[in-house]
Structure 1
Amino acid sequence: MRPEAGGPRFTGPRFTALRFTGLQRLLHWLMAICVLAMLFIGIFMVSTVRPDYVPLVALHKTLGVTIFFLVLIRIVVRSISGTPPLPADLPPMMRLGAHLSHYALYALMIAMPLIGYAMLSTAAYPVVLWGNIRLPALLPQSDQLHTLLWAAHRWLALAFFALILLHFAAALFHALVRRDGVFQSMASFGRRRPAAPAE
């Protein structure tokens, strides 16, 4: 049962916070920084032949693996802590779009590092992280497979960037237009109060 206009009334013992937990918000903003850094580093990588190309590649690989493990942690935390309910008056198509876009973001944050790892393996490039941690090859060397994975990595990166822009636009829409608390649920401010679980 949802709160009535005169005040919150709940019939069950379970309550859902209107904000994500502190750990969820920390993971979200940390991953946002890592993802944006990785995307822009990737853009610089493909558009430069300067000597800083090699350290950019090393940083790009490290960020990719970091994001991969962070998203796995985030999925576990999300399954344990749950998520705040979307506003009851949110149109069905917007509700569906919110769910699908989040699933797509999670899928890409898992797929992109794995595809990049496989792509480097097929080109016999070593994957060295944090200075001296060398990962084993994921796939055998293959020029044909490397070309295919490189193209997949590139096009998925463009789709990822488009989804991030859409996510940012949706956040601004909820914060400035609807003002329905969705943005505040992931921001570091806003009141924390109980709400009835979504029906």
Structure 2
Amino acid sequence: MESVTPVSFSLPQRAVHWATALLVFFNLLFTEGMEEWNRAVRRTGSATAEQVASANIHAYVGIAILILLALRIILRFTSGAPAAPPEEPALFRFGAKLVHAALYVLLIAIPLTGIGAYYLGNSQAGEVHAEVLKTLLWIVIAAHVLGALMHQFYWKTNVLRRMTVG
């Protein structure tokens, strides 16, 4: 049976993409609960129930991101992905592949280092998680958004449409 390259992402792929994006931004923007828990544990060796609950929200969202990423990978293999638009220069196609690969790696590494820090007590994992990987993720997200905007406004392709309305 011959496989056909889709012209846009499937509805489940789009839903998983945007759900992941929302959860990623939630955890990037609302870190206070985890930070407060971490400070309390470092200072006193324990945390209040409220601090634990707040930290758990951050942790559970991170685990949900990891699960959604696994689902996204499965959907990518089962549903395929649209080809890059021909208007996109080869160098930018390569850059897009790098950015997407970096997103996948970071969205696996960040929850895993968070798990290492929160559940296993590995402070080095916590430092890598909160300092290095978080910063890299912001940079890669900026590149991802900039690439989408280049497609929409410079090359005038349908890349944004493929991930929004199909």
Q: What TM bracket, shorter-length normalisation? A: 0.7 to 0.9
- One-letter amino acid matched to 2:15: L
Task: Return the TM-score normalized by structure 2.
Answer: 0.83
Deviations 1:122-152 (A, max 9, x none): 42xxxxxxxxxxxxxxxxxxxxxx3321221
Cα deviation, 1:147-182, whole Å, max 9, x if unaligned, reads 321221121011111111211121122112211111
What is the CA-CA distance between 1:43 and the residue it aligns to? 5.9
CA distance in structure 2 between the aligned counterparts of 1:173 and 1:47, rounded to whole angstroms: 39
| Residues 1:37 and 2:26 are matched in the alignment | yes
Q: Describe the SS at the equivalent of 2:27.
A: helix
Q: Give the equivalent residue in structure 2 for 1:85.
A: 83
Matched, 1:148 2:124: yes
Residue matched to 1:67: 65
Matched, 1:15 2:1: no
Q: What RMSD, in angstroms, separates the aligned Cα atoms of the two structures?
A: 2.3
Q: SS in structure 1 opposite 2:142?
A: helix
SS at 1:85's partner residue? coil
> What SS is found at the alignment partner of 1:19?
coil
Tell me how far 1:37 sits from its aligned partner. 0.4
Q: Which amino acid aligns with 1:149?
A: A
TM-score normalised according to structure 1 size: 0.70
Max Rg structure: 1
Counterparts of 2:106 and 2:3, CA distance in 1? 33
Number of aligned residues: 155
CA shift for structure 1 position 42? 2.1
Greater RCO (Cα-Cα under 8 Å, separation 6 or more) = 1
Deviating more after overlay: 163-172 vs 37-46? 37-46
Amino acid in structure 2 at the alignment position of 1:165: A
Question: For residue 110 of structure 2, what is the aligned residue in structure 1?
Answer: 112
Whether contact under 8 Å (2:106, 2:133) holds in the other structure is yes
Hey, what does 1:157 align to over in structure 2?
134
Inter-partner Cα distance in structure 2 for 1:40 and 1:157 = 11
1:168-183 mapped onto 2 (5 Å cutoff): 168-183=145-160
